[in-house]
């Protein structure tokens, strides 16, 4: 007798991953664009499930907790590109930045965080760290991110005062029950254009990171370049609201 299958096994992860990749490709193509990047959000999930997604070809992974990320990172292949997408306490910046294959910190939402990351990069002598500014586009108190009106200022701060950081885009969580024409995503797109203009960057040179399990196709239609999908790939989390 076979033991009953766990809720998420390697096969179901491969299937779910391929399904999401197919939808991303289809939606992007319908908009006449290259496929958006997929970040597999693996917070709270065990190493075996991440390894299964890696074996299926996935390379970009997202985590929300510094301790969890720096524990998982060294136990998995070193060509994984880690995205830190959670709230960051300044005193954890150095621990986070010490992870060699940390690819980007998507959740810079105040000058203090940028300063702490910059200091850590300089202290460790690592190459400039890619960052995104996280914007709270839904107005919900519970969500992190700077106010939309602060985006340009924070982007300027990263660009001008933080030599160790490289601004590559903007990130938002958005609003879960947003309409077919999502206001939150439109706000982020507007902020992106304002930042590109202010910093004298070419239009389209910065990335938009928006869209999660419930709304990634909508986000792509709204111009997202990178979607962060967790539960649709790895199954529901035991603590679904821990980070939202
Ligand atoms: C957890 C999380 C995700 C993934 O959420 P799902 O709904 O499981 O796809 C994406 N972005 C952030 C910032 C998260 O905290």
Cα–ligand 1 centroid distance for 175 (angstroms):
12
Q: Across-strand partners of 60?
A: 81
Residues with CB under 6 A from ligand 1: 41, 43, 64, 85, 173, 212-214, 228-232, 243
Candidates 18, 24, 26, 6; CA nearest to 233 is 18
Q: How far is the CA of 128 from the centre of ligand 1 (A)?
A: 26
For the chain, the maximum distance between any two Cα atoms, rounded to a whole number of angstroms, is 65
What local confidence, expressed as pLDDT, does residue 180 receive? Answer: 66
Residue with the smallest CA separation from ligand 1 atom 13 is: 85
* Å from CA of 181 to ligand 1 middle: 20
What is the three-state SS of 153-181? HHHHHHHHHCCCEEEEEEECCCCCCCCCC
Instruction: Note the pLDDT of residue 139.
Output: 85
pLDDT at position 175 is 85
pLDDT at site 8? 61
Residue spans of alpha helices (H) in the chain: 10-30, 47-55, 66-72, 93-97, 111-124, 151-161, 183-198, 216-221, 231-234
CA distances from 157 to 16, 182, 215 (A): 39, 28, 31
4 token code pair:
């009953």
Burial readout 221-233 (b: 16 or more C-beta within 10 A, e: otherwise):
bbbbbbbbbbbbb
Residue nearest to atom 6 of ligand 1 (CA): 230
CA–centroid distance, 193 to ligand 1, in Å, is: 24
Over its length of 244 residues, how does the chain's per-residue pLDDT go in tens digits? 444 444 567 789 999 999 999 999 999 999 999 999 999 999 999 999 999 999 999 999 999 999 999 999 999 999 999 999 999 999 999 999 999 999 999 999 999 999 999 999 999 999 999 999 999 998 888 789 999 999 999 999 999 999 999 999 999 998 877 666 689 999 999 999 999 999 999 999 999 999 999 999 999 999 999 999 999 999 998 765 544 4
pTM (2 d.p.): 0.93
58/217 Cα distance (integer angstroms): 19
């Amino acid at each position: 007798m076979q033991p009953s299958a766990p809720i998420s096994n390697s096969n179901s992860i491969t299937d779910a991953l391929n399904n999401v990749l197919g939808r991303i490709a289809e939606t992007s193509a319908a908009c006449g664009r290259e496929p958006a990047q997929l970040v597999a959000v693996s917070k709270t999930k065990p190493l075996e499930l991440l390894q299964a997604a890696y074996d299926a070809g996935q390379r970009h992974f997202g985590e929300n907790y510094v301790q969890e990320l720096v524990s998982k990172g060294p136990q998995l292949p070193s060509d994984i590109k880690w995205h830190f997408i959670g709230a960051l306490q300044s005193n954890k910046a150095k621990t986070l930045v010490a992870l060699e294959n940390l690819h980007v910190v998507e959740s810079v939402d105040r000058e203090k965080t940028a300063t702490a990351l910059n200091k850590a990069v300089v202290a460790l002598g690592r190459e400039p760290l890619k960052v995104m500014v996280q914007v709270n586009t839904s107005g919900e108190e519970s969500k992190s991110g700077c106010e939309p009106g602060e985006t340009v200022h924070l982007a300027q701060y990263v660009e001008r005062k933080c030599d160790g950081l490289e601004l590559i885009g903007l990130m938002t969580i958005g609003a879960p029950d947003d309409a077919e024409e999502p206001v939150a995503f439109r706000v982020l797109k507007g902020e992106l254009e304002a930042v590109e203009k202010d910093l004298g960057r070419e239009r389209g040179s910065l990335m938009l990171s928006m869209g999660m399990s419930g709304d990634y196709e909508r986000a792509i239609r709204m111009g997202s370049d990178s979607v962060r999908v967790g539960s649709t790939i790895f199954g529901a989390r035991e603590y679904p609201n821990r980070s939202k």
